[in-house]
Amino acid sequence: MALLSLTWALSVYDVTAHVAEETYDAGRNVPRAMIWSKRSSGSLGVIDLISLALCTTDIDSLTRNALRVPIGVLIG
Protein backbone atom coordinates (compact mmCIF):
# COMPACT_ATOMS: atom_id res chain seq x y z
CA MET A 1 0.00 0.00 0.00
CA ALA A 2 2.85 2.37 0.79
CA LEU A 3 4.39 2.02 -2.67
CA LEU A 4 1.15 2.14 -4.66
CA SER A 5 1.52 5.78 -5.71
CA LEU A 6 5.02 5.06 -6.95
CA THR A 7 3.73 2.10 -8.94
CA TRP A 8 1.18 4.29 -10.71
CA ALA A 9 3.85 6.82 -11.62
CA LEU A 10 6.26 4.21 -12.98
CA SER A 11 3.72 2.17 -14.94
CA VAL A 12 3.05 5.02 -17.36
CA TYR A 13 5.85 4.10 -19.77
CA ASP A 14 5.05 0.41 -19.57
CA VAL A 15 1.42 0.83 -20.56
CA THR A 16 2.20 3.02 -23.58
CA ALA A 17 4.90 0.62 -24.75
CA HIS A 18 2.51 -2.36 -24.66
CA VAL A 19 -0.16 -0.68 -26.76
CA ALA A 20 2.33 0.83 -29.22
CA GLU A 21 1.96 -1.90 -31.83
CA GLU A 22 -1.81 -1.35 -32.10
CA THR A 23 -1.44 2.42 -32.41
CA TYR A 24 -1.95 4.27 -35.67
CA ASP A 25 1.20 6.23 -36.67
CA ALA A 26 3.06 4.84 -33.68
CA GLY A 27 6.29 6.70 -34.44
CA ARG A 28 4.55 9.98 -33.70
CA ASN A 29 1.68 9.08 -31.37
CA VAL A 30 3.45 6.82 -28.85
CA PRO A 31 6.02 9.46 -27.75
CA ARG A 32 3.19 11.97 -27.42
CA ALA A 33 1.20 9.51 -25.33
CA MET A 34 4.22 8.89 -23.11
CA ILE A 35 4.73 12.60 -22.50
CA TRP A 36 1.05 13.31 -21.85
CA SER A 37 0.61 10.31 -19.59
CA LYS A 38 3.67 11.29 -17.57
CA ARG A 39 2.37 14.84 -17.22
CA SER A 40 -1.08 13.73 -16.14
CA SER A 41 0.37 11.13 -13.78
CA GLY A 42 2.60 13.77 -12.22
CA SER A 43 -0.25 16.25 -11.86
CA LEU A 44 -2.56 13.69 -10.29
CA GLY A 45 0.29 12.49 -8.06
CA VAL A 46 0.83 15.99 -6.71
CA ILE A 47 -2.89 16.33 -6.01
CA ASP A 48 -2.80 12.96 -4.25
CA LEU A 49 0.17 13.94 -2.11
CA ILE A 50 -1.36 17.29 -1.18
CA SER A 51 -4.62 15.62 -0.14
CA LEU A 52 -2.71 13.08 1.97
CA ALA A 53 -0.70 15.89 3.57
CA LEU A 54 -3.91 17.75 4.44
CA CYS A 55 -5.34 14.57 6.02
CA THR A 56 -2.33 14.21 8.30
CA THR A 57 -3.16 15.77 11.64
CA ASP A 58 -1.21 13.80 14.24
CA ILE A 59 2.06 12.33 12.93
CA ASP A 60 2.78 10.35 16.11
CA SER A 61 -0.50 8.45 15.89
CA LEU A 62 0.24 7.55 12.26
CA THR A 63 3.56 5.91 13.12
CA ARG A 64 2.18 3.94 16.09
CA ASN A 65 0.36 1.40 13.92
CA ALA A 66 1.40 -2.24 13.57
CA LEU A 67 3.13 -1.81 10.21
CA ARG A 68 4.73 1.54 11.07
CA VAL A 69 3.73 2.76 7.60
CA PRO A 70 1.78 6.06 7.81
CA ILE A 71 0.33 5.95 4.30
CA GLY A 72 -1.48 2.70 5.05
CA VAL A 73 -3.38 4.43 7.85
CA LEU A 74 -4.16 7.50 5.72
CA ILE A 75 -5.55 5.55 2.78
CA GLY A 76 -7.22 2.78 4.77
pLDDT tier, 1 (very low <50, low <70, confident <90, very high otherwise): very low
pLDDT at 8: 67
What are the tens digits of pLDDT across the range 17-67? 788 888 888 889 888 888 888 888 888 878 887 887 787 777 777 677 776
What percentage of the chain's residues is helix, strand, coil (to nearest 5)? 80, 0, 20
pLDDT, mean of residues 61-74: 70
pLDDT in the model for residue 9: 66
Q: How far is CA 59 from the centre of its chain?
A: 22
DSSP secondary structure letter of residue 22: G
Domain ranges of the chain: 4-75
